[in-house]
Amino acid sequence: MNLLLLQPEDFREDGTVHLTGRRAAHAREVLRAQEGSSLRVGRRDGQVGRATVLANDVDGLHLDICLESPPPPRAGVTLILAIPRPKALKKVLPAVASLGVDRVFLVNAARVEKSYFDSHVLRPESVETLFGLGLEQARDTVAPELHLRPRFRPFVEDELPGRLDGVPLRLLPHPTAEQPLQALPQRPWGPAALAIGPEGGWVPFEVDLLSRQGFLPVSLGPRILRVEVAVPLLLGQLELLRCG
């Protein structure tokens, strides 16, 4: 935890915060907070700054808050992800939050199990916890938007065009694509979209539908990667592609 993430309801009327539970324990035990200590904090969806410990008693930590800087810039990335199994989702959600991904669409695909949409990992309180871990890690306060889309075709055909209005760079990593991602020319920074298939890959019908929406199939080479490895790798490459 590199930042204590404060929720709007943590703030009292006088602007101070009374911290209890997991965050207070972390501040005391790991950050060794005591009266007078200064801690890095951020307000969910707001600014980041410092907290000064006014009092440290059995009830928790009483903090004076000074928020002064914007959170780190967004990645400028829309991620369309064939819904991973719950165990992988638990790793991917904190990762995409820490990487500053703007929006995540978890979509159905021929080679995923539709039951994944019913996973308890996707309950709102679980998502907030997993995103929170990523935000605290990366010193950010803004989580990705998360959208579940159990119907692939209507999502791609009807919703995606509007969602990706003004997003020129759209990549579709695919094992049988001819063009390696490395061969793409660098370009000036701009918003981008990435459609990452399930482990078995998108089926031809899905590739076709995404291609019609301007997604360019690119090859990542012969290695098949776990989704929690492929996502940061591709986001890193996307960042480098957009610095021409």
Minimum distance from CB of 185 to its own copies (Å)? 11
Which SS3 state, helix, strand or coil, does residue 114 take?
helix
Burial readout 18-33 (b: 16 or more C-beta within 10 A, e: otherwise): ebeeebbebbbeebeb
Q: Where on the phi/psi map is residue 126: left (φ > 0), alpha (ψ -120 to 50), or beta?
A: alpha
Minimum distance from CB of 114 to its own copies (Å)? 18
Q: Which is nearer to its own copies, 89 or 181 (CB)?
A: 181
Where does this chain bind its own copies (CB under 8 A)? 2, 72, 91, 94-95, 98-100, 137-140, 181-183, 186, 199, 221-226, 228-230, 232-237, 239-241, 243
The vertex-177 CA angle with 194 and 203, nearest 5°, equals 75
- 115, 86, 239, 73: which is closest to 171 by C-alpha? 239
Q: Which is nearer to its own copies, 60 or 134 (CB)?
A: 134
- 77, 87, 97, 93: which is closest to 194 by C-alpha? 77
Q: Which is nearer to its own copies, 20 or 69 (CB)?
A: 69
Minimum distance from CB of 166 to its own copies (Å)? 22
**Encoded tokens for 118:** 């019913």
Q: Which is nearer to its own copies, 18 or 40 (CB)?
A: 40
Minimum distance from CB of 184 to its own copies (Å)? 9
**Encoded tokens for 39:** 């801690």
Q: Which is nearer to its own copies, 192 or 235 (CB)?
A: 235
Minimum distance from CB of 97 to its own copies (Å)? 10
Minimum distance from CB of 180 to its own copies (Å)? 8
How many H-runs (helices) and E-runs (strands) does the chain carry?
Answer: 7, 11
Q: Which is nearer to its own copies, 83 or 97 (CB)?
A: 97
Burial readout 207-239 (b: 16 or more C-beta within 10 A, e: otherwise): bebbeebebbbbbbeeeeeebbebbeebbebbe
User: Longest C-alpha distance within the chain, in Å?
Assistant: 63
